Structure 1
Amino acid sequence: MFNLDNVMYLSAFISIVFLITGFIMYRFPPKKINYLYGYRTNSSMKSQERWNFSQKYSSVQMMFTAIKLFIVSLILPWFNSSFKTNILFQIVIVFIALGFMFYKIEKAIKINFPNE
C-alpha cells in the first residue's frame, strides 16, 4: 500500500528506473531511427550514424545519472529537513539531473557531428 514515507525515497526509485532503462537501452539499442523507442531528438534523428551514436551515449549517460541520483538519495536522510522540503529538493535534483544529462548528450552529438 502507498505510504507517504516511501515518497521520501523518490530519487532512489527514479535512479533505479534510470539504471534499468539505461542498461536495457545499452544492451538492446534501437537499430533504426523510429518514433517509439530510444533517445529521440531532432539532432539524434538526422542520420543513422547520429542515431547509433546517440543511443549508446545516452544509455551510458542515463546509467551515470542513475548512480549520481542514488548517491544523492543516500545523502538526503542525513539532513533534518521537513517532509515538504525534502520532496521539493528531490524533485528539483531529478529535474537538474535530467537537464544536465540532455545537455551532455546534445553537446556530444554536436561535437561528434559538427558538419551535419
Structure 2
Amino acid sequence: MDNISSYFISLLIPFIMIIIGFVHKIRAPKKINHFFGYRTFRSMSSQKAWDHAQKLLSYYSIRFGFCNSVISLLLLYLLPYSLDEITLINLGVSMIFLFIPIFFIENKLKRSFQ
C-alpha cells in the first residue's frame, strides 16, 4: 500500500465524522423519526430529549472526528511499523472513536431526562 492510500484510509472515518457533525449541525432532524438522526430509546423518549441529543451528536462528532484525525496522523508518523499495519491500527482506533460519542450522549441524556 502506498502513502496516499494509507493517508486516505486512515483519515476517511475521522473526516466522515466531521462532515456528519457539520451537516447534522446545519440540518438536524426537527421531529422524532426512525430514519435520520441520533435514534436511541432515550433520545426518542420526548421532543426535548430528541433536540438535545441531536445537538450533542453534532458537537461530539466534530470534536471526536478532529481528535481522531490528529491521532491517526501521529500514528502514521510515529509508529515504527509498516504502513499496512499502521493503517489497520488507525482503522481500529477510528472504530473506537465512532462509538465513544454514544456513551457521552447517553450519559448526558440519562442525567437530563430521567
TM-score band w.r.t. shorter chain:
0.7 to 0.9
> Take 2:56 and 2:39, find their aligned partners in 1: how far apart are those partners?
13
Matched residue, 2:10: 11
> Take 2:31 and 2:85, find their aligned partners in 1: how far apart are those partners?
43
Between the aligned residues of both structures, percent identity stands at 32
Higher mean displacement: 54-63 or 73-82: 73-82
> RMSD of aligned C-alpha atoms?
1.4
Structure 2: give runs of 5+ residues left out of the alignment: none
What secondary structure, in the 3-state scheme, does the structure 2 residue paired with 1:73 have?
A: helix
* Alpha carbons 1:33, 1:51 under 8 Å: kept: yes
> Take 2:104 and 2:5, find their aligned partners in 1: how far apart are those partners?
29
| TM-score scaled by length of structure 1 | 0.86
Matched, 1:38 2:16: no
Matched residue, 2:91: 91
Per-residue displacement from partner, 1:46-101 (whole Å, max 9, x unpaired)?
11111000000111100001100110122022222123421321121012112211
> Take 1:8 and 1:107, find their aligned partners in 2: how far apart are those partners?
35
Per-residue displacement from partner, 1:2-49 (whole Å, max 9, x unpaired)?
xx4344222312111111110010111100001111111111111111
Higher mean displacement: 80-89 or 37-46: 80-89
Matched residue, 2:81: 81
Structure 1: give runs of 5+ residues left out of the alignment: none
Matched, 1:23 2:22: yes
